[in-house]
Structure 1
Amino acid sequence: MRNKDLRSGRSYDLGKMNLKELWVAYLTHGTILLYFSLIVASIVGVYYTFTGWLPVIGAIIMMILGFPLIWYIIHRWIMHVSILYRIKWTASLWKRIHFDHHQDPHLLNVLFGSPLNTIPTILIVAGGLGYLVGGVPGFFASIGTAVYMASFYEFFHCIQHLGYKPKSKYVLHIKQVHVLHHFHDEKGNYGITNYFWDKVFGTYYEEAKMRDRSPTVFNMGYDLKEAERYPWVMLKTGSPPRDRPAGSNFREQKKPSSEQDKQAA
């Protein structure tokens, strides 16, 4: 731990980090260390409640297959809904779980989900499903698998925002698709490593030319007008919502001229 920035816990700009620096930051981050501890605790739980391999393996397979759908549902219909910022008591939650990440997609500390939100969700959703499949051993096996999947997702989510070009064609592909979610149109590509459910629900797109650019891609609809009506996120942030990341040289796409509009008509 020679890196004083790691010890200070400051937010890292993934756009300025290399792969080696990411590995160090990832493996020493408090959230990831907590996840690893939960995985070990889940293994211990399975060991002391073990009744056979069938409920354990069943719960593990169920969670491996179900996690992408659970993530899609949470990302699309919880993280990206406006109702959370319109209610005073849930505005801070919405800000932390996703608004901050879209305001500046490269900051590591807001990229990771808050354990205060992720762990209860895993215990309730993954644990509940695991218990239905395999009883108490299934409960622990499902939780351990879900936490592992979350850790796996978090690492590749970091890769997708890292200033690094992956050598793997698959990783490069999921990185390019996820970048579109953050810099072109946020109403699509909700997956991280798996876009199967995006394809099922019709929210998948591979290239920017397939859609018009969303004017709310960085603020998810919480613009200045909305902030005036529902000020709680803005008050918590301490500044008005931005329509692009701080320090960004991003430029809006030019609108067609009136002459071009006439020709198009």
Structure 2
Amino acid sequence: MTGEMVGFTVDLSKPLVFQVGHLGETYQEWVHTPILTSESPRFFESDFLEILTRTVWWVVPVIWVPVGLYFITMSYTMGHSLPLVVLMAVVGAFVWTFLEYCFHRFLFHIDTESYWGNTFHYLIHGCHHKHPMDGLRLVIPPAEAAILALMFWNLYGILFTLSIRPVMFGGGLIGYVMYDMIHYYIHHGQPTKQSLKSIKKYHLNHHFRIQNKGFGITTALWDRVFGTLPNTKAADKSG
């Protein structure tokens, strides 16, 4: 399993992860042609690995909201006033929206054609574009989120002081939870508020019309800043 197989066809009845790499340069077209069913395809032969790829939505707030609040409270106990802690937590959540945009644009949408490049991309995001209604692979699995959280905790140790680091990190975790919950809801919910309707339309436009623009989930701010905002006409036609 080291390279492209000429004329390779993915067998959807078999575990997918170690097949998709063989698509080579045809992978990008394949993965961005969605299958609109709510079925959760099998990724691995191993039941253990398979379990690690599936996460019900409510696990995210159950795990990460308490963790985020713990770190926010830590900065308060270190002597910062409550209004300042709340303000820094909001800033931390805002910083997350930028990280969210960067991950989505520069990592989740990397252009690959090698066997392992295709395999990696499918695991981190390609599966979501191929099966956008798979509710068990929409939010980030806890093990993957924990690895990312540890990376950012260490990075924040370089960027911030000892007492500011926890609240910025905790605010970022709350921002992440909001992101994953909004993302899940706009795929599987039927919003009645205009703000959520607009977010849903914006994101579905990214999936089904212009997949190289509209990378924001929580907000379209960074798409505006960096020129990746889809044109209004296309967005209005998306449903």
Paired residue for 2:138?
Answer: 111
TM-score w.r.t. length of structure 2: 0.65
Letter in 2 for 1:113: I
Between the aligned partners of 1:46 and 1:209, the Cα distance in structure 2 is 42
Query: Which of 71, 75, 83 is matched with 2:104 structurally?
Result: 75
Q: Using a 3 Å threshold, how does the CA distance of structure 1 residues 191 and 130 change in structure 2: closer, same or farther?
A: farther
Q: Using a 3 Å threshold, how does the CA distance of structure 1 residues 210 and 47 change in structure 2: closer, same or farther?
A: closer
Higher Rg of the two aligned structures: 1
Between stretches 155-164 and 192-201, larger displacement belongs to 155-164
Please tell me the root mean square deviation across aligned C-alpha atoms, in Å.
3.1
Letter in 1 for 2:97: P
Query: Which of 67, 70, 73 is matched with 1:41 structurally?
Result: 70
Paired residue for 1:149?
Answer: 175
C-alpha displacement of 1:61: 4.0
Q: Could you say what secondary structure the match of 1:186 adopts?
A: coil
Paired residue for 2:79?
Answer: 51
Letter in 2 for 1:108: G
Q: Kindly indicate whether the alpha-carbon contact (under 8 Å) linking 1:32 and 1:151 is maintained by their aligned counterparts in 2.
A: yes
Q: Kindly indicate whether the alpha-carbon contact (under 8 Å) linking 1:59 and 1:142 is maintained by their aligned counterparts in 2.
A: yes
C-alpha offsets along residues 133-172 of structure 1, whole Å, 9 cap, x if unaligned? 3x223221122111111111111111211252x2211111
Return 5+ residue gaps in structure 1 as ranges: 1-11, 15-24, 214-265
Paired residue for 2:28?
Answer: none
Q: Using a 3 Å threshold, how does the CA distance of structure 1 residues 147 and 93 change in structure 2: closer, same or farther?
A: farther
Between the aligned partners of 2:147 and 2:207, the Cα distance in structure 1 is 27
Between the aligned partners of 1:129 and 1:58, the Cα distance in structure 2 is 17
Query: Which of 97, 103, 114 is matched with 1:86 structurally?
Result: 114
Task: Using the aligned pairs only, state the percent identity.
Answer: 21
Between stretches 200-209 and 180-189, larger displacement belongs to 200-209
Paired residue for 2:216?
Answer: 191
Between the aligned partners of 2:105 and 2:158, the Cα distance in structure 1 is 26
Instruction: Kindly indicate whether residue 222 of structure 2 is the aligned counterpart of residue 208 of structure 1.
Output: no
| Higher RCO (CA 8 Å, separation ≥ 6 residues) | 2
Count of residue correspondences: 184
The 5 A counterparts of 1:1-265 are: 13=38, 26-27=57-58, 30-43=59-72, 45-48=74-77, 50-53=78-81, 56=85, 59-83=88-112, 86=114, 88=116, 92-125=119-152, 128-129=155-156, 132-133=159-160, 135-162=161-188, 164=190, 166-205=191-230, 206-208=232-234
Between the aligned partners of 1:33 and 1:93, the Cα distance in structure 2 is 28
C-alpha displacement of 1:46: 3.1
Between the aligned partners of 1:126 and 1:109, the Cα distance in structure 2 is 27
Q: Using a 3 Å threshold, how does the CA distance of structure 1 residues 76 and 55 change in structure 2: closer, same or farther?
A: same
C-alpha displacement of 1:47: 5.0
Paired residue for 1:232?
Answer: none
C-alpha displacement of 1:69: 1.4
C-alpha displacement of 1:92: 4.8
TM-score w.r.t. length of structure 1: 0.59
C-alpha offsets along residues 172-207 of structure 1, whole Å, 9 cap, x if unaligned? 111101001111121011001210111122211234
Letter in 1 for 2:101: Y
Q: Using a 3 Å threshold, how does the CA distance of structure 1 residues 91 and 47 change in structure 2: closer, same or farther?
A: farther
Letter in 2 for 1:51: G
Between the aligned partners of 1:58 and 1:123, the Cα distance in structure 2 is 23
